[in-house]
Each structure stands twice: as structure tokens, then as C-alpha cells.
């Protein structure tokens, strides 16, 4: 995780070395001055050629992933082939992660997903800044992660400038269907975000939160605390 900005609704005034350092570990980024401004939350022009080409490349890679023909590919090969496409599309992806198509990223290269994560249909990620999703995360249908933002100034929008703030989702989270996660949000590990929520602010680890705007309703024990509880009904379960 990284230190948050004080105000996610406005552009940053300077680059963020912490975010740039993370991004440089990703595959396929369009590394340049404007890219560093973009992922840092500074105002930038999204229509410069290097960024347009990066988005165009992502469209092609996403099309390969989304249009896999289930009538011609054996079931036993689907996960392997899709994972290969994900490795080309995303900045980083861990083993045993599976995404049900269609999956709609903007750049793709600004997205990092950990291992053993499952994402259901119709995930949209506007990865203007980096989006980091942890291990063993479960994400429901029609979820949108939006790192892109605009100033409220009408003139700024006429000038076609925008900004983006990073989004972080910790390990072992469950994000319900139709959730929208807005720029600059960090969701701590072990959280459950209820269906239909709009997440506008950080959610502390091991929280159950829901609503519009999303608010913490209760906290829960960690997996380690559950394992140490002899009365926990899940501690002796094994996968078949």
C-alpha cells in the first residue's frame, strides 16, 4: 500500500515517486514523462500519440482475451490460454488467477492482480493510474474500478485534460456485484464490499462495508484469528 493523497477529487501538483516505482515493475508500460504525470495524478493530455497507442494496443489484447471461441477450444485448455492472454494484457498477474470475459481495461499495463484471484463477468478498469489487486480476491459481476478523474472546471474539460489516482485492493477481499470504486481509494485486506456500493473513501482492513457512499458497518476477525478459534465453523473445511 502507499500513502494516500489528501484530496482525490483534484489533480496532484507533482509526481509521486512511490507510484512511479511500482509502475516500473509492470510489463509493457509506455514509459515517458507524460506517463509518469498520468499515473501520479497530475493533469495530462490523454491524446498524445504514445498514450493513444498504448490504449489501442490494450484494445487488441483485450479482444483476443474476450473473443476466445468456446466452441473450438477444449475446456481443459481454456484457463491456460486465457492466462496467457492476461499475461500479455496486464502489467502483472499471479498464478491461478481467472477472469470471466468480457473484461474491459483501458491500458491494462497499469493493472496488477495477485494470485488465486477470481473476477466475474463485465469487469471494467479505467487504469489511468495504477490499479493493484491482491491475492485471493473475489470480484462479482459488473464491477467498475475507476482511477480516472476530471476537474470540476468546465474549461479544463474543454481543454481535454484529466488526471488519475491509484486504487489498491488488499488480499482476501470480496467485492460484490455492481460495485463502483472511485479514484484514489484503498480497500484494506480482508474486506467485504456489499453489492451496489459506491466506494469513495478508504476502507480499513477486515471491514464489512456497503452503501452509497460506502461506509463501514462492522469489522471481522482475520483469517489467522479464525484459524485459532476452536469454535469457528470453517477452520476444518478442506477443498475437495
Residues serving a catalytic function are: 150
Strands in the chain per DSSP E: 92-93, 98-99, 103-105, 111-113, 118-119, 123-126, 131-133, 138-139, 144-146, 148-149, 163-164, 167-169, 174-175, 180-181, 186-187, 192-193, 198-199, 207-210, 215-219
Q: What is the DSSP string of 131-187?
A: EEE-TT-EE-TT-EEE-EE--S-HHHHHTT-BEE--EEE-TT-EE-TT-EE-TT-EE
Length of the chain: 240
Order of strands, sheet of 198-199, starting from the edge strand that comes earlier in the sequence: 103-105, 123-126, 144-146, 180-181, 198-199
**Is residue 199 within 8 Å of residue 212, measured between CB atoms?**
no
Cα–Cα dist 118/115, whole Å: 9
CB of 38 closer than 8 Å to CB of 51: yes
Amino acid at each position: 500500500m502507499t500513502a494516500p493523497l489528501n484530496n482525490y477529487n483534484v489533480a496532484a501538483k507533482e509526481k509521486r515517486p512511490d507510484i512511479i516505482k511500482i509502475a516500473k515493475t509492470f510489463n509493457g508500460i509506455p514509459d515517458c514523462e507524460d506517463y509518469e504525470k498520468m499515473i501520479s495524478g497530475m493533469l495530462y493530455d490523454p491524446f498524445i500519440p504514445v498514450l493513444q497507442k498504448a490504449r489501442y494496443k490494450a484494445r487488441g489484447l483485450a479482444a483476443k482475451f474476450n473473443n476466445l471461441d468456446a466452441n473450438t477450444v477444449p475446456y481443459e485448455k481454456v484457463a491456460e490460454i486465457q492466462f496467457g492472454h492476461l499475461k500479455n494484457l496486464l502489467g502483472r498477474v499471479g498464478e491461478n488467477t481467472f477472469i470471466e470475459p468480457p473484461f474491459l481495461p483501458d491500458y491494462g499495463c497499469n493493472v496488477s492482480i495477485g494470485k488465486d484471484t477470481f473476477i466475474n463477468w463485465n469487469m471494467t478498469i479505467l487504469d489511468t493510474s495504477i490499479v493493484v489487486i491482491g491475492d485471493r480476491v473475489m470480484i462479482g459481476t459488473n464491477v467498475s474500478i475507476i482511477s480516472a478523474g476530471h476537474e470540476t472546471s468546465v474549461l479544463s474539460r474543454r481543454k481535454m485534460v484529466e488526471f488519475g489516482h491509484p486504487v489498491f485492493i488488499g488480499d482476501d477481499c470480496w467485492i460484490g456485484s455492481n460495485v463502483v470504486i472511485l479514484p484514489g481509494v484503498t480497500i484494506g485486506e480482508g474486506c467485504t464490499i456489499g453489492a451496489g456500493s459506491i466506494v469513495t473513501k478508504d476502507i480499513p482492513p477486515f471491514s464489512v462495508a456497503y452503501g452509497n457512499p460506502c461506509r463501514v458497518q462492522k469489522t471481522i476477525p482475520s483469517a489467522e484469528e479464525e484459524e485459532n478459534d476452536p469454535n469457528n465453523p470453517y477452520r476444518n473445511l478442506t477443498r475437495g
